[in-house]
Structure 1
Amino acid sequence: MTLITTPLQQAQDFMLTNGRLLERQLFSYLFGDGTRELVLQALRAYQNADGGFGNALEPDKRCPDSQPQDVEFALHVLDVLGSLDDPLVQRACDYLDSITTPEGGVPFALPSVNAYPHAPWWTSDENPPASLNPTAAIVGLLLKHRVRHPWIERAAQFCWQAIAAIDTTEFHTLMPVLQFLEHAPERERANHELRRVAARLSQPGVIELDPQASGYVQKPLNWAPTPDSFCRRLFTDETIATHLDALARRQQADGGWPISWDTLSPAVAYEWRGRVTIEALSTLRAYQYNI
């Protein structure tokens, strides 16, 4: 007799076989009987003595030293848990304050990354400038959960100035910007900038609408991973339904979802696939898609 397994059960097998401890615990918390504390225990292992996060928490760079992007990665995990009141957040904010540039934000990457294996896009200058990616995402997540720290106001001012000066449609810049604008308390100012972003993204050809498109492209569900996402208003119900079907069909025979970029090693690919599998299932569940 052939046992019939659901996509969620297949994904669980993938995670147990291939996922890092952090993603296994997060998967169990979201889709099983896991606990918040077990996820936090796994996440704490990535926090360094300086309060920042490193140790390849973001897998495409194998740097043990703290990096701004790893702080963002950690905050996204804490956001899922609703645990930005954990003491590790204040320590992370102290670290961010220590690496803030004269512009008021934190860099995309610090030069310590250069000494370790890393994807080419992580190579850093010796004196990198502040960047909206990840500063805006970090500030947005902290504002969302009403975290209080002196660094936040300073970094928010950098974000406002940088957002007003850009006219980009680049995904990895705009997603942090959207994270910030959705939670900034200055709503009139934020709504003005959100309208500017929406106008850019609504231009034909900016967002990949073909559900079968391959390669490193960003489709509607990348821009609107939940129905509450700001960018959900940019797409019709039919478009979202079509892309949900396509996302569900991208589950691989091993139970995990694929990634669309080259990694440093097979092990790194599996680390990312664990994260992407959780994101895919979370999006499907958020839209009440049967998994």
Structure 2
Amino acid sequence: MECYERAKKFILRNSRPLDMARWNYLFENGSKEEVINILKAYQNADGGFANALEPDCWNINSTPLQTWVATRIIEEINLDDKNHPIIKGIIDYLSSNAEFDGHRWNGLNTVVTNDNYPHAPWWSYTQKQELQYNPTASIIGFILKYAEKHTDIYKLACELSKEAYDYFKKNFPLESMHESACFIELYDYMKECSMSNLIDMEEFNKLLQKQIKQVITYDTKTWNTDYVCKPSFFIKSKSSDFYLENKDICKFEYQFILETQNEDGSWNVTWDWNNEFEEWTISKNWWKSDIIIKNIKYIKEFK
């Protein structure tokens, strides 16, 4: 497939080792351990993640947001071993109450130390931001899946899942596509772990079906130039509970991806730091590899 070969060439020429390892694992029969070994380099001694794992934030201090990015890679490579050191480290970090206010990790979606390192403007620290569940809703789900049931952190996550769901219902529909995605990740974790004893999963499903339609950008003319919400933000495969009700727009995105690939194998990065940090040039290139991986995954899932 020409699209795949162009993408592969970009990855080989430009990607950081982590994204090369992800590419190899997902598409070239590569090793899961290769991904894990490189991912460990972004993990600090406290078990949290940092060091520009999320390319828009170069903070070297562990943050819940960058730790959440690590959890998504763990899901991507299907690492299910609860006793794996990288997972135990994350659970230890979350158990330490770092950046935890008793209800949310990183409720303001940023931390003070971000300002000491190159970062996108939306990761600057400000007390004026509203509390939200990005990334807490997803982190709760991670704990429910990976923490041992007898531990305090697991029991806490059970209670927090109820709090998060109450917030979701009270604030429905949510305005943020990122917060929406974290609630979909919570739903997926809870479904996988059969957690219907905690919340009404059928009701959760119905509300999420409506939530997705609220935040998807249906003006597809803007997709290639603006930072907008596409169905792939929530729906990763045809097996998703949310695929059938969004089948047409998912099919459109499949065709859109095929038609908008650049000559160098990448796709447009539709956001910009617009600040004094020159590191954006490096981060933008890292993002291109991440977008390539997600787009090729999508093509393979929806062909």
**Shorter-chain TM-score tier:** 0.7 to 0.9
Question: Which residue in 2 is equivalent to 1:16?
Answer: 12
1:146-172 superposed Cα distances (whole Å, 9 cap, x missing partner): 542532431342343232332214201
Residues 211 and 242, structure 1, Cα contact 8 Å, conserved in 2: no
Q: What secondary structure does 1:235 align onto?
A: helix
Name the residue aligned to 1:29.
Answer: 25
Q: Is the 8 A contact 2:50 2:63 kept in 1?
A: yes
Q: Please say if residues 75 and 84 of structure 1, whose CA atoms lie closer than 8 Å, have aligned partners that are also in contact.
A: no
- Is the Cα contact below 8 Å between 1:106 and 1:131 reproduced in 2? no
Residue 103 of structure 1, CA deviation: 2.9
Aligned to 1:160: 162
Residue number among 264, 268, 272 corresponding to 1:254 in the alignment:
264
Map Cα deviations across residues 93-114 of structure 1 (whole Å, 9 max, x no partner): 1111221534332012221112
Matching residue of 2:200: 189
Q: 1:91 aligns with which of 82, 89, 92?
A: 89
> What residue ranges of structure 1 are gaps of 5+ in the alignment?
none
Distance verdict in 2 for CA 1:32–1:127, change over 3 Å: same
Query: What SS does the corresponding residue of 1:252 show, helix, strand or coil?
Result: coil
Q: SS of the residue aligned with 2:282?
A: helix
Where does residue 100 of structure 2 map in the other structure? Answer: 101
Rounded to whole Å, the distance in 2 between the matches of 1:126 and 1:116 is 18
1:274 is displaced (CA, Å) by: 0.8
User: Which amino acid in 1 is paired with 2:296?
Assistant: L
The one-letter amino acid of 2:152's match is P
Relative distance call for 1:208 and 1:79 in structure 2 (3 A) is same
Measured after TM superposition, the shift of residue 194 of structure 1 is: 2.7
AA in 1 matched with 2:285: Y
Give 1:199's match in structure 2, choosing from 175, 186, 210: 210
**Secondary structure, counterpart of 1:33 in structure 2:** coil
5+ residue gaps, structure 2, are 274-278
After superposition, the Cα gap between the structure-2 partners of 1:153 and 1:131, relative to the gap in structure 1 and judged at 3 Å, is farther
Tell me the CA shift for residue 142 of structure 1.
4.2
Aligned-residue CA RMSD in angstroms?
2.3
- Alignment counterpart, residue 179 of structure 2, candidates 173, 176, 191: 173
Match for residue 277 of structure 1? 292
| Displacement after TM superposition at 1:136 (Å) | 1.1
Quote the residue 1:227 is aligned against: 238
C-alpha offsets along residues 180-204 of structure 1, whole Å, 9 cap, x if unaligned? 123221265132133223234445x
Q: 2:253 aligns with which of 228, 231, 243?
A: 243
Residues 184, 234 of structure 2: 8 Å contact kept? no
Match of 1:209 among 196, 218, 232: 218
Between the aligned partners of 2:251 and 2:296, the Cα distance in structure 1 is 15
How far, CA to CA, are the matches of 2:129 and 2:61 in structure 1?
A: 16
Q: Deviation above 3 Å: which 4+ runs of structure 1?
A: 125-131, 200-203
Q: How many residues align?
A: 280
The equivalent residue for 2:122 is 121
User: What's the TM-score once normalised by structure 2's chain length?
Assistant: 0.84
Does structure 1 conserve the Cα–Cα contact (< 8 Å) formed by 2:177 and 2:229? yes
**Distance verdict in 2 for CA 1:192–1:244, change over 3 Å:** same
Distance 1:55 1:122 in 2: 14
Structure 2 CA distance for aligned equivalents of residues 150 and 109 of structure 1: 25
Note if contact 1:132-1:159 (Cα within 8 Å) is conserved in structure 2.
Answer: no
- Tell me how far 1:259 sits from its aligned partner: 1.7
Give secondary structure in 2 for the equivalent of 1:248: helix
Residue 247 of structure 1 and its aligned partner are, at CA, apart by 1.3
